[in-house]
């Protein structure tokens, strides 16, 4: 992941944690995270939950 994406990921995760939409977990399971560029140039966080 590019440095800009890592910064954006940390920022978005911090915001979601603060708002209570997500919580920290120690689960051995995970899902790939990727970003999709929106029309305005910002990045949208996407998580692939497929098997």
Residues 43, 21: Cα–Cα separation, whole Å: 18
Picking from 27, 25, 29, the residue whose alpha carbon sits closest to that of residue 48 is 29
State residue 51's pLDDT score. Answer: 77
pTM of the model: 0.76
Please write the tens of the pLDDT for every residue from 29-49. 989 999 999 999 999 999 999
Residues 21, 19: Cα–Cα separation, whole Å: 6
State residue 47's pLDDT score. Answer: 93
């Amino acid at each position: 992941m590019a440095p800009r994406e890592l910064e954006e990921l940390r920022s978005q995760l911090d915001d979601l944690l603060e708002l209570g939409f997500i919580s920290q977990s120690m689960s051995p399971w995970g899902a790939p995270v990727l970003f999709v560029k929106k029309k305005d140039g910002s990045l949208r966080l996407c998580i692939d939950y497929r098997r």
